[in-house]
């Protein structure tokens, strides 16, 4: 008999596994508080590995079950050990759409290797098949590891590389692209790609997972199935983020890349569409469009690749007592643009006006968003707003501050002309502005 | 016959008013799309004054109705002209609790004078009675105009003045205090007062209104009635914000001063309690507590007034491409503290580590919050977080970035000792930290 595999488990958890003569890959049944869970025993990572069993349920969802005195565990089958060999692309079902998965790192790429229990920083096609075998029924999949970074370390230079890698895959004729990415700055990257990859022929779907390495559960599989489904079959050709709709595992929401924000540090449904509805929703691999306002998939369309970004653009969040000479610092350092995250409808204190005036006079593009996050900047209502407009500050309607930052970085990657930059900033390029809603128009909010 | 009063109305709106021989103060009935509205015709301000009629409904709610060809208007009564004389405090019902209203300015203080149609920057007791006569049945009211500022111009120096004015009213034995304040920075001020006014004997309620001068409707009356009710009768003695619970006019929510945020540029229900439940809710002047975790009203309790703030504390929102030498600027300018608004669980890019290390070595208190807004910083999960902890960055759990900024400004108003400052920052002083929820503990979010 081969040596049994218990990757990751220790203490009490290891004991109960040994007691029922199970090992990693076996099918087990856990009964606790009248709930019954059946699935494949998978490795547990570092944290809490003495107290939890981690099971991969049929749904693809991994659940961590705390062992208590009244937890009953049974081995109900020798599982097919999840150690698939990578089927070469040529060997995959030729009738399925072709999807490229580009991995940039993040939790999703670190966690999916349950076979070894090790936290691996890369996502290979082989890892994918071993953890999410359902993918083989959705698409022919080719994977590429572009880099292995947690997303707080992704910079505008990486956005350029991701845009170029995506364009290359599109040129090779894939039916859709999935980009595995850390969730921390995923919305910034989604916005960046929305400007860098215009006139898309196929969908480009960013996906991540919120379950971090110290938690005995993961949303990676469900999110990946959703993202690959969208890349393979969605009728739209836009940049979108695919993540859980709710904390439970029933549905995936597809958010437009310029209108989405990470809104919770740890929940699975952390991403929210802001000031707009999501593009679509996926349940049981079925895509339901949530809007009629989307760009249609058209594989004959020619991509416009504009991957350059300029980092001399700043995002400044205003607060009471903010030192206006902090604004002067950006002038001295020859920045091209400043996105202000003002209060309410788009205000900053009047003691900042001189510094802003000075910035505008130095040909810096200064534009206004709101730290409220929801709603629309309207600088015509109060004197502060009107004064700022008179100083040359550009109101950015309902654009997210993060999207505004990324857009202005992108704009100065395309042009050095300030007037052209202002014009581009006010032009709706990738759905970053939403039209006013009926209730906004009628003042009935 | 005295000259008719049509303050503010022009064009089509003025015509229909004249056609039915109505004037400001008359009771009119408007029928439109099968809906019937009855109430007092009140003046309309600047914007859209040719197309809307503004009616004060019985509920105290002001509604703007767009005039269309199928809008039917009738005059159904000569209204008692809303021009009350100010009853002196001595003449008010002595059995009612005494509430002081301190006005600092903002939309609520600018709009309530419907008698003249003019946008007045101050709130007098006389204005209050003319617009919200219901207040006379809730409390004996004394009003004070502290200043008349839109709240984007409120600075930490104003927080000190508001705290002192509030302490003075408390010393005079009022049963509760209402602070009228612009909504833009109301949450910052609420946090500031939560630290400056400790050991409160009575409730201190901040209130504002979202309906700006260019919209033909206002939430000012409903909010004021809610705030005065809470100040007069609420069983808790804390700093809270009283604003609409939903876009409709049924209920007012009371949010704890350290856990509340303005989350929409224009909606009436813009304020949301973050990472906690609200303290209470008011419907039909009835207060229902939403939590058992509150400090009880006790008029024998002795207020601890600590009104000083130090402005050499910065709030820095991290973003991809952020220039770490911007952090050095605060070191050079001898700041005492920096609140980082990091990504996800509390991260910034590793290229910022040297600048943060340098700041910490210069005795600057550096602490971490999350730009996600919802959720809790947890810097033990990923390497970025652990590295930042090792550099001396203080994780601030589920504290809002804005509250963290205000708290650190307050701390350095109390002490120059860095170790004491760090200790205070980690101490739960005014409910700024929430305990972990059950679902957080079990990882079931």
Q: In sequence order, which residues have a C-beta less than 8 Å from that of residue B411 and are 6 or more positions away?
A: B310, B337, B421, B424, B425
What pLDDT score does B378 carry?
92
| Domain covering B313-426 in this structure, CATH number | 3.40.50.40
Residue-wise pLDDT tens digits, B187-236: 999 999 999 999 999 999 999 988 754 455 678 888 999 999 999 999 99
User: Which residues in chain A have their CB less than 8 angstroms from residue B376's CB?
Assistant: 265-266
CB-based contact B321 A342, cutoff 8 Å = no
Q: Which of B216, B333, B374 sits opposite A443 (nearest CB)?
A: B216
Interface test with B, best of A45, A107, A149, A152 (most B CBs within 10 A): A152
Measured between CA atoms, the residue of chain B closest to residue A106 is B382
CB-based contact A213 B382, cutoff 8 Å = yes
CB-based contact A350 B377, cutoff 8 Å = no
Measured between CA atoms, the residue of chain A closest to residue B404 is A319
User: Which residues in chain A have their CB less than 8 angstroms from residue B315's CB?
Assistant: 317, 319, 322
Measured between CA atoms, the residue of chain A closest to residue B385 is A152
Interface test with A, best of B48, B266, B438 (most A CBs within 10 A): B266
CB-based contact A264 B372, cutoff 8 Å = yes
Strand residues in A189-238 grouped as ranges (E): 197-198, 204-207
**HEC secondary structure over A26-52:** CEEEEEECCEEEEEEEECCCCCCCCCE
Cα dist from A43 to A17, A55, B242, B298, whole Å? 11, 8, 50, 55
User: Which residues in chain B have their CB less than 8 angstroms from residue A326's CB?
Assistant: 314, 326, 329
Alpha helices in B6-119 (DSSP H): 11-19, 107-111
CB-based contact A152 B342, cutoff 8 Å = yes
Q: Which of A185, A267, A373 sits opposite B320 (nearest CB)?
A: A185
ipTM confidence score = 0.83
Highest mean pLDDT among A175-179, B140-144, B264-268: A175-179
Residue B164 pLDDT > 60: yes
Q: Which of A319, A378, A402 sits opposite B319 (nearest CB)?
A: A402
Residues B101-124, mean pLDDT to the nearest whole number: 63
pLDDT tens sequence for chain A (445 residues) = 345 666 668 888 888 888 898 887 788 898 888 888 888 887 665 456 678 887 777 765 667 788 888 888 888 887 655 444 445 666 678 899 999 999 998 877 765 444 444 445 556 666 666 667 788 889 999 888 898 888 999 999 999 999 999 999 999 999 999 999 999 999 999 999 999 999 999 999 999 988 754 455 678 888 999 999 999 999 999 999 999 999 887 899 999 999 999 999 999 999 999 999 999 999 988 999 999 999 999 999 999 999 999 999 999 999 999 999 999 999 999 999 999 999 999 999 999 999 999 999 999 999 999 999 999 999 987 778 889 999 999 999 999 999 999 999 999 999 999 999 999 999 999 999 998 876 676 555 5
What pLDDT score does B84 carry?
40
What pLDDT score does B114 carry?
43
Which residue ranges make up each domain of chain B?
11-77, 92-305, 313-426
User: Which residues in chain B have their CB less than 8 angstroms from residue A265's CB?
Assistant: 344-346, 370, 372, 374-378
Angle of the B325-332 helix axis to the A325-332 helix axis, nearest 10: 130
Buried/exposed A391-413: b ≥16 CB within 10 Å, e otherwise = bbbbbbbbbbbbbbbbbbbbbbb
For A132, the 3-state DSSP assignment is coil
CB-based contact A344 B265, cutoff 8 Å = yes
Is B116 in the active site? no
Measured between CA atoms, the residue of chain B closest to residue A326 is B329
CB-based contact B321 A383, cutoff 8 Å = no
Half-sphere exposure in the Cβ direction for A95 (13 Å, CA):
1
Fold of A89-305: Rossmann fold (3.40.50)
Measured on CA atoms in the order B9, B11, B13, B17, is the torsion positive or negative? positive
Q: What percentage of residues in chain B have a pLDDT greater than 90?
A: 61
What pLDDT score does B308 carry?
98
Q: Which of A189, A321, A402 sits opposite B155 (nearest CB)?
A: A321
Is B183 in the active site? yes
Answer whether A89-305 and A313-426 agree in fold.
yes
Residue B38 pLDDT > 70: yes
Residue B366 pLDDT > 70: yes
The tokens for A229 are 């489904």
Provide the shortest C-alpha distance from residue B87 to chain A (in Å).
33
Rounded CA separation B443/B445 (Å): 6
Fold of B92-305: Rossmann fold (3.40.50)
User: Which residues in chain A have their CB less than 8 angstroms from residue B309's CB?
Assistant: 321
Is A183 in the active site? yes
- What are the residues facing B141 on neighbouring strands? B99
Of the two residues A98 and B16, the one the predictor is more confident about is A98
User: Which residues in chain B have their CB less than 8 angstroms from residue A383's CB?
Assistant: 150
What pLDDT score does A117 carry?
41
Q: Which of A182, A323, A442 sits opposite B66 (nearest CB)?
A: A442
Q: Which of B262, B350, B370 sits opposite A344 (nearest CB)?
A: B262
CB-based contact B270 A440, cutoff 8 Å = no
CB-based contact A375 B265, cutoff 8 Å = yes
Interface test with A, best of B61, B152, B373 (most A CBs within 10 A): B152
A396 and A378 Cβ atoms separated by less than 8 Å: no
CB-based contact B152 A349, cutoff 8 Å = yes
Is B262 in the active site? yes
The tokens for B329 are 């600027």
Q: In sequence order, which residues have a C-beta less than 8 Å from that of residue B355 and are 6 or more positions away?
A: B324, B325, B327, B328
Class of the CATH-defined domain B11-77: mainly beta
CB-based contact A345 B445, cutoff 8 Å = no
């Amino acid at each position: 008999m081969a040596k049994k595999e218990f990757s990751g488990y220790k203490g009490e958890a290891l004991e109960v596994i040994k007691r029922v003569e199970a090992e990693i890959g076996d099918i087990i049944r856990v009964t606790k508080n009248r709930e019954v869970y059946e699935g494949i025993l998978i490795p547990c990572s570092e944290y809490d590995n003495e107290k939890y069993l981690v099971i991969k349920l049929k749904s693809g969802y991994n659940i961590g079950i705390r062992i208590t005195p009244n937890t009953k565990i049974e081995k109900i089958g020798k599982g097919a050990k999840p150690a698939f060999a990578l089927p070469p692309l040529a060997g995959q079902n030729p009738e399925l759409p072709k999807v490229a998965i580009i991995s940039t790192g993040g939790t999703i790429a670190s966690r999916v290797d349950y076979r070894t229990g090790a936290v691996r920083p890369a996502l290979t096609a082989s890892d994918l098949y071993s953890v999410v075998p359902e993918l083989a029924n959705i698409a022919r999949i080719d994977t590429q590891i572009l880099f292995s970074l947690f997303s707080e370390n992704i910079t505008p230079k990486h956005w350029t590389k991701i845009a170029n890698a995506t364009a290359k895959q599109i040129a090779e004729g894939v039916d859709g692209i999935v980009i595995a990415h850390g969730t921390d700055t995923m919305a910034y990257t989604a916005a960046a790609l929305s400007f860098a990859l215009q006139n898309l022929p196929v969908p480009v779907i960013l996906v991540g997972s919120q379950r971090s390495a110290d938690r005995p559960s993961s949303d990676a599989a469900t999110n990946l199935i959703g993202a690959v489904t969208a890349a393979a079959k969605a009728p739209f050709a836009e940049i979108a983020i695919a993540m859980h709709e709710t904390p439970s595992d029933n549905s995936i929401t597809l958010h437009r890349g310029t209108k989405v924000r990470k809104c919770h540090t740890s929940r699975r449904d952390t991403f929210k569409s802001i000031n707009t509805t999501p593009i679509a929703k996926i349940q049981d691999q079925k895509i339901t469009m949530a809007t009629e306002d989307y760009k249609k998939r058209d594989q004959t369309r020619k991509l416009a690749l504009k991957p350059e970004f300029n980092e001399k653009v700043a995002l400044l969040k205003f607060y009471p007592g903010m030192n206006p000479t902090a604004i002067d610092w950006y002038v001295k350092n020859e920045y091209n643009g400043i996105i202000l995250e003002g209060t309410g409808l788009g205000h900053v204190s009047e003691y900042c006006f001189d510094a802003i005036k000075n910035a505008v006079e130095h040909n810096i593009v200064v534009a206004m968003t709101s730290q409220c996050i929801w709603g629309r900047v309207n600088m015509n209502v109060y004197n502060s707003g009107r004064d700022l407009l008179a100083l040359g500050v550009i109101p950015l309607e309902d654009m997210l501050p993060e999207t505004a930052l990324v857009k202005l970085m992108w704009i100065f990657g395309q042009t050095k002309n300030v007037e052209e930059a202002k014009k581009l900033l006010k032009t709706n390029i990738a759905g970053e502005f939403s039209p006013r809603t009926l209730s906004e128009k009628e003042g009935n909010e």
